[in-house]
Structure 1
């Protein structure tokens, strides 16, 4: 009787342990890092980003990772990136040197076999293919030979690495996706590197391989970044062919997603990624939103895009511009938008920052534009969204670059400055055109470097 009782007890405990393991929805990621002095490392993956605290005294980190999809991730340790595979049930510990890249990371945990394979795979990539510039500059026959060699080497490595069977099959497809993506990009990248827009691959080039790929595999979409990038590149190419005077690229792109993609997860993710990034800058907001709502079936995504749309309507053409108040003027004193309205002039507003290299490249063209339109019915206003502690850097940039026009300092970043928040500005530089009465002409004007487009806009508004 006693023996029977203990047998039942052991079975019960085993059952409870199994139940607990199945309910586990997190993992503990920990490790030691040599030659690293910063306080944070970053973990990123499919729809996931997290900063992890690094303890410099102990040279270690440990964090509980929740709400993530099992799959491939990158651990950014300053300039060194560690590729890894994470899953719910298997905690992972690693040891790595942030500086000495010739020393491979050491993994501990049930997924160490997969993670050791990923380390070897990266080394194969560097050894066989080298840099993208070197690869795509090769002549056609040499390029194809190198790609064949690379694919065969990876497939052999995967087969010999004792990977779990499910992972092995996914990884074989992933290797093929990377292979096909490079084949598909060869002509365009070779043209770019040699500055020869007329270059064409031969009749025997395997351009047909892209047509063999099924773009409706949600498991592969989550698992493989090469698969996701290849789909996006294919859709962009198709959208460029579909666009017209009546349909710009942004509209053509989401229409192409709708036509070409059937898988619900893949379609909704592509639509959302397109809309969340581009909707603040689309030419026809109302039509774009209408099409998005028609094509998407993800209610949470639709709710988020609707909230953006409702806010963006407030900065549509013809609406009163949001205001900025009491900004420091480079020439002295403070300036608000209301101080500038009512003098019969349009306002061309440049939102920039000293750390933004693209912004600084626009500066010489903006200067020439201001000189060209000096004394006409437009004035040029530049608002810096540098941090408050960078005020001296702002003043120095204006002086050294001999910037013209009116210069104002927000004393807050674009994330904190109410004017840029009202305009939903996420990237710099951003140019806004306001009419003499303070109404919005466009919340996303062409950059000075898009000179012809900008002059066309000025002419349409009778700016002269």
Structure 2
């Protein structure tokens, strides 16, 4: 977009501003010392609702936002700038790309909350040191640090003029939920950074949360921290249920959440969990049935229905999706049909994937244990084509065993898409006839893998 085009659009939008009933917001800005071609803006907390805003050669950008969601994240150099935008607002953002967060200026109609959110983020940056420094503190010092942050954030909130009273009321509670969330992070993070594996927080460390109401719909809709706390609360309950009833954790979670009386909270937790884990669960049919029996949100239900129909064919006993003519590290190509007559344990991985690489020593041990048995170990890399040589070198340098293959189109390979693979590593077990045994088989580091192999007399 050149400067002339930008000015024409700006004039058009200025004219639109006279319409006080417009159902969209306007976001404009100017970036000094800019080198980027676009910004990314995300609606709410979902990267499924994002789009790019083009930046002109002279650093200007302009966009309109039409949404029911007031919360946005504008990504600047991979860092999110939180915005609160409502229909009728006209927000202007200026900054210097060489010193972004010391130069950000947010102005215009409806900019008050966004300015507060930016100030809130700066308070965190002011008080918090490195993660190691923060989480290595003892309990008293850690709480004292959080309480200083709370005090400064509350002052920032009440001192920012023009923020509606209802937002102030909700945000005061949200600040407190942020505090609770940081308390809940402490034990695990303290163990990680101090290496004190036996560390446990004091019995009274979380006493401030004893009377917390986990069924506040208003706060659930307003506060992401409260939403996280509620989700963790029901996760803890479901894990106890899983042990007590001897059922899978994912099934226990759906059953636990289904008993929540508040429809909004129940529907949101049901949807978020099922949408995330349905494709990778070995209990997909049970999860789908439980979800369908308990969710009352028709829009969410349509999404889950479509997702389940896509994976319904991926059940034990059905013919496996195939890969065809994948490049073999040893030369030539290999297809799934070439391996018929043996069980096939497939590792979908990539050289850049840390958890994938972490499984390699365990995979080697399992391969050695089952050498000469009726099973082939196949590793399929979904690295980009440009990283083909990196993959070849990694296989050689790490002396990887089994059948080492390179997928034909990384994440967009048909085999990957047919199995609905969204994250790696992913392990799949196929029987000698080419039928599915497990779409989400145990990892090599998981003792359940050997139990599974033994049950199949491999």
**TM-score scaled by length of structure 1:** 0.87
Aligned counterpart in structure 2 of residue 460 of structure 1, from 441, 455, 458 = 455
| Shift in CA distance, 141/386, structure 1 to aligned 2, threshold 3 Å | closer
Question: How does 1:65-104 map onto structure 2 within 5 Å?
Answer: 65-71=65-71, 73-101=72-100, 103-104=102-103
| Shift in CA distance, 178/334, structure 1 to aligned 2, threshold 3 Å | same
Q: Find the residue that maps to 1:276 and give its secondary structure.
A: helix
Contact 1:158 1:168 in 2 (8 A): yes
Paired position in structure 2 for 1:443? 439
Give the root-mean-square deviation of aligned CA atoms.
Answer: 2.4
Aligned mates of 1:178, 1:170 — CA distance in 2: 12
Paired position in structure 2 for 1:11? none
Contact 1:346 1:436 in 2 (8 A): yes
Paired position in structure 1 for 2:5? none
Aligned counterpart in structure 2 of residue 363 of structure 1, from 356, 360, 384 = 360
Q: CA deviation at 1:54?
A: 3.4
Contact 1:43 1:75 in 2 (8 A): yes
Q: CA deviation at 1:433?
A: 0.5
Aligned counterpart in structure 2 of residue 376 of structure 1, from 349, 358, 373 = 373
Larger Rg: 1
| Shift in CA distance, 113/230, structure 1 to aligned 2, threshold 3 Å | same
Aligned mates of 1:157, 1:18 — CA distance in 2: 30
Aligned mates of 1:76, 1:111 — CA distance in 2: 20
Paired position in structure 1 for 2:419? 423
Question: How does 1:49-448 map onto structure 2 within 5 Å?
Answer: 49-55=49-55, 57-71=57-71, 73-101=72-100, 103-162=102-161, 163-196=163-196, 198-205=198-205, 207-244=206-243, 246-259=246-259, 261-342=260-341, 345-414=342-411, 416-448=412-444
* 1:25 partnered with 2:23: yes
| Shift in CA distance, 252/108, structure 1 to aligned 2, threshold 3 Å | same
Aligned mates of 2:82, 2:312 — CA distance in 1: 42
Q: CA deviation at 1:425?
A: 0.8
Aligned mates of 2:303, 2:83 — CA distance in 1: 31
Give unpaired runs (5+ residues) of structure 1. Answer: 1-16
**TM-score scaled by length of structure 2:** 0.88
Aligned mates of 1:210, 1:42 — CA distance in 2: 37
Q: Find the residue that maps to 1:433 and give its secondary structure.
A: strand
| Shift in CA distance, 165/234, structure 1 to aligned 2, threshold 3 Å | same
Q: CA deviation at 1:442?
A: 0.2
Aligned length: 439
Moved more, 270-279 or 50-59: 50-59
Q: CA deviation at 1:262?
A: 3.0
Aligned mates of 1:91, 1:227 — CA distance in 2: 29
Paired position in structure 1 for 2:7? none
Q: CA deviation at 1:68?
A: 4.3
Aligned mates of 2:314, 2:147 — CA distance in 1: 52
Paired position in structure 2 for 1:4? none
Aligned mates of 1:238, 1:190 — CA distance in 2: 23
* 1:199-231 alpha-carbon deviations (Å, 9 max, x no partner): 4444543x2333433333444333322122222
Give unpaired runs (5+ residues) of structure 2. Answer: 1-15
Q: Find the residue that maps to 1:271 and give its secondary structure.
A: helix
Aligned mates of 1:54, 1:368 — CA distance in 2: 51
